[in-house]
Chains A and B, each alone.
Chain A
Amino acid sequence: MKKETHHECCAHHGHHHELVIEGLSAAYRDILALDKISMATSCGNRVALIGPNGAGKSTLLKAIAGLIPRKSGEIRWRGTSVKKWSREFAYLPQREEIDWSFPITVRGLVNMGRYPQTGWWRKFSQEDQAAVEEALKSLDLKELEHRQIRELSGGQQQRAFLARAIAQEAHVLLLDEPFTGLDRNASILLGDLLEKLAGEGRLIIASHHHLDSVPKLFDEVLVLKTQQVSFGPVDSVLTPALIKETFEV
């Protein structure tokens, strides 16, 4: 089922956009967090970033999102530097990095997704309203739209942030540990949702720490340990030998 949607790319714009990372290194002060990462993937894929704690999974997501400067290397989307395309990238931080007490409703959050389109001043057009409605509906948040974001379950919170990404019309979703803290049902729902979003032509890159569920949830996997251990389709990369090498110190 997942192979059908795989590479049947970008249904809503009919192009085949590529994300290419070449020799990417990033550091916090003097500590190297990512060392010469190279990979290429395209929309329609779900890419898992796995590796032990401190392997640089979050750093890689942040570097792609442009949240931290890179030390060297390049990240290209549609053939040019990602900087130009910030509007097409949506980044969902780890749960603990979000200020859940911020007085904002689900609808308010999804509205924020339109800001890159509206700019600082333009009033919300009918198109903006429609995009917000559509995002709320497609993620089944219509009934929860007036809830403050802390009054949602973990799965609903993930959906609210995904709805914002969809309202933003993002092509690349960068998710930091999206499955963490979700119960079984919520995980299954989120897995199905990511499959649907990828099926519609989005590129999904998520850090993940449950090795067992990688084959079910993702198409490709990048194994990290500051340096790149391996990258490719899930079944050819995740060999027992490689898992042992990466996760055992």
Chain B
Amino acid sequence: MFEELLSSPFYQRTLAAAAFIGFTNGFFSGFVVLRKNALSVSALSHTMLPGIAIGILVTGYLSQWNAFFGALFAALLVGLGSVAVARGKRIAEGTSLAVLYTAAFAAGVAILPKLQTSAELEHWLFGDIMAAGDTDLWIVFSIGVVILIGSNLLMRPLLLTLFEPNVAAAQGVPVRAMQYAVFVMLVLALVSSLQAVGCVLTVGLLVTPAATVSLLTDKTSALFWGGGLVGGLGSVAAVLISTPLGISPGPAIVLLLGILFILTYLFSPKYGVLVPKKYFTSLK
């Protein structure tokens, strides 16, 4: 029966989507880990739900496009708004983000009961990669390509900005533009994984892969490519095992990545807490 499933174009499309979403999100998780404020990503992801709700309220119906643009719009508004407020230096970015995202979430909660389609919203909350249609795949694919090309083109100035913003600015890197660029790509990445894991769990895909790799290596570039591999392979494996286990693919992806992280945390040859330090020094 499993072989039959594997040969169905429908299932193959699901696996391709999982691999691609996992890879782009895993790649970008390198930046999330280096920015050291994964919780703000969580705040942003919650903003997408009211965004979708408003998208439905404005257009009157639920479709991929207005869900996509609603989520994108809300996350960009809240995300960029919080960066702009924090620029005044009086208020920290985390503070302004917390204020704006809870306000947005409150707006979403207020609107939800007024919608006819609120039942279908569960689909956006927790994702349903099996239901990914052609349009979804094209959206995901285009976003992924933009993120991968954008972050590779800007890799050096982005790394300089994340490591030493002051020094980067003195060397002529447009630090502010780089910070906005990371934010925009972050929001795009969040929206791209909506379909797979839903807006609550997207954070898992956008943090865990590089966090896992950071326990294995100190090479900066490995965070990105390694994160991509972990995200892509992990997502495919999760989809494959989710069917026989009878669990939804979305939670399976985030759960599997989480388990991988914990295993690495415990047993990483270099930084694992259960691996005696002697072992590593004797290797050198």
Using a CB–CB distance below 8 Å, which chain A residues touch chain B? 62, 65-67, 86-87, 89, 91, 93, 97-99, 102-105, 108, 112, 115-116, 118, 120-121, 146-148
Contact = CB atoms under 8 A, between A and B. Distances in A.
Interface in B180-220: 214, 217-220
Contact of B220 (A89, A97, A108, A116): A108
A229 to B, nearest CB: 27
A186 B66 CA distance: 62
A121 B153 contact: yes
Contacts of B171: 86-87, 115-116
A98 B164 contact: yes
Interface in B124-168: 153-154, 156-157, 159-160, 162-164, 166-167
A106 to B, nearest CB: 10
A86 B170 CA distance: 7
B34 A102 contact: yes
Contacts of B223: 103
7 contacts: A67-B167, A93-B164, A102-B163, A103-B33, A118-B156, A120-B156, A121-B153
A91 B153 contact: no
B163 A112 contact: yes
A62 B132 CA distance: 53
B170 A91 contact: yes
Nearest to A119: B156
Specify which of B154, B163, B171 lies most central, judged by the most chain A CB atoms within 10 Å of its CB: B171
Specify which of B153, B156, B169 lies most central, judged by the most chain A CB atoms within 10 Å of its CB: B156
Given A89-B170, A93-B164, A103 B217 contact: yes
B170 A65 contact: yes
B9 interface: no
Contacts of A115: 156, 160, 171
A120 B164 CA distance: 16
A98 B159 CA distance: 14
B163 A148 contact: no
Contacts of B164: 93, 98-99
A104 B156 contact: no
Interface residues of B, number: 23
A104 B160 CA distance: 11
A103 B160 contact: no
B246 interface: no
Nearest to A118: B156
Contacts of A147: 218
A28 B176 CA distance: 20
Contact of B219 (A65, A91, A98, A105): A105
A104 B170 contact: no
B153 A99 contact: no
Contacts of A66: 169-170
B172 A86 contact: yes
A103 B2 CA distance: 41
Contacts of B33: 103
B169 A108 contact: no
B220 A91 contact: no
B219 A67 contact: no
Interface in B5-21: none
Nearest to A121: B153
Specify which of A98, A103, A108, A146 lies most central, judged by the most chain B CB atoms within 10 Å of its CB: A103
Contacts of B160: 112, 115
Contacts of A112: 159-160, 163
Nearest to B33: A103
Specify which of A89, A108, A112, A146 lies most central, judged by the most chain B CB atoms within 10 Å of its CB: A112
Contacts of B170: 65-67, 86, 89, 91
A66 B172 CA distance: 10
A213 B218 CA distance: 37
A91 B157 CA distance: 17
Contacts of B218: 103-105, 108, 146-148
A98 B34 CA distance: 14
A104 B163 CA distance: 9
A116 B169 CA distance: 12
Contacts of A108: 218-220
Contacts of A99: 163-164
Contacts of B162: 102
A67 B163 contact: no
Given A102-B34, A103-B217, A108-B220, A91 B156 contact: no
Nearest to B155: A120
